[in-house]
Amino acid sequence: MTGPVAVTGVGLLTPGGEDADATWETVRLGARTAAAHDPALAGLPVDFSCHVPLSRDELDRRVGRAAWRMSRNAVLAVLAAREAVRDAGLDPRTWDGDRVAVVIGCGLGADEVREEQGGRLEERGAGLVSALTVPQMIPNMAAGEVSIDLGARGPGLACATACASGATAVAVARDLLAAGRCDIAVAGATEAAVTRLTTAGFWRAGVLSRRVDAPAAASRPFAPDRDGFVMAEGAGMLVLERRADAFARGARARALLVGCGSTSDAYHPTAPAPDGRGAEAALRSALADAGLSPHDVDHVNAHGTSTRANDAGEAALIARVLPHRPSVTAPKGVLGHGLGAAGAVEAALTVLTLQHGTVPPVANLDAEAPGSGIDCVTEEPRRQDVRVAVSHSFGFGGHNVVLALARA
């Protein structure tokens, strides 16, 4: 147990909104999936997805002159990080950049660059491939661009644990603070991988919803008729500080990060271990790290992908380890699956749940999941005095990460 870390800033740019407040309001209402038919996916068996509500031109104008060299996922990361830093009441012009770390997860890197430049190579030859292809494409560049933008010269790290990447980044940042390697950490994740190749690949893997006639009803975590997830993009960032440091500068703590747990299933490249042992170990490890017992948990922000195997295994895990039935929500019902960004976005939403005392409902779930043994919030947001919450993230490769957060 390393002691609590204060979450002093939150930044979000998601299909639910262009900042944290707008995203929270969309998720809080939880009416439907923010999905629509995507012209870029026309002709594919699954032709819908969830995008942030800003065009690339609008995103670039917000970033400024440096946007010309950035991939879409780097642009999303920079904007979410700026919001988180502002929210924390920090000014990069005056902080000691040597003591600021940046840790950003990303599952696939700049997939749109890989697809676009690969097509240009085949159609027009090597001479017309962009000189920026490699620096835009590599998955660490979102962390690099955020560090450059903020003047953060402390540890700069990129985490890739598939759909657990965002949660992994937050956990690594917490460890850097605990080890004294930095005084401020900007941690989170970004993803902009809604491309034809990636969508086709997930479709072939059998994990995408095929509700092409009803995209807004396609992401259905824990529903009996769920049939897969919806591709999405977005970014989520947190500013983390040691609680004593935050208190000393008079900062407001939105919540406390009190524990982290990470394990591997060591079972299969894509399927979760059927006994759920690895995920359970991650949950128990996060609680032990926080000095908490399972019965201390009031709320679970579930990974909840809307795939049959994931939701069944996660529901069984929650019912087994947390039999007192804490409230459960699953933001992917509204936002779709942001892949590598999902864990950071959901950690940020868990912070907001703690702060506001409100649990968002699971979109497209009309009643408690039959036979699941868990208490999914449905139809309307639930007012609840949430003191301790856990956020689950599980990724291809068998990566399991759980974050434990507490009300400040």
pLDDT in tens, 7-42: 999 999 999 999 999 999 999 999 889 999 999 999
pLDDT in tens, 187-209: 999 999 999 999 999 999 999 99
pLDDT band for position 369 (cuts 50, 70, 90): low
Contact (Cβ atoms closer than 8 angstroms) between residue 237 and residue 348:
yes
Q: Give me the amino acid identity at 86.
A: R
> 299, 337, 392, 399: which one is catalytic?
337
> 50, 159, 163, 182: which one is catalytic?
163
pLDDT band for position 111 (cuts 50, 70, 90): confident
d(CA 110, CA 112): 6
Q: Strand locations in 97-150, DSSP E? A: 100-105
Is 337 known to be catalytic?
yes
User: pTM of the full predicted structure?
Assistant: 0.96
**Bridge partners of residue 380, in order along the sequence:** none
> 303, 376, 392, 399: which one is catalytic?
303
Dihedral over Cα of 394, 400, 401, 402: its sign: positive
Is 303 known to be catalytic?
yes
Token pair belonging to 126: 């090597």
State whether residue 404 is helix, strand or coil: strand
Pairing mode, strands 299-301 and 327-329: parallel
Q: Give me the amino acid identity at 353.
A: T
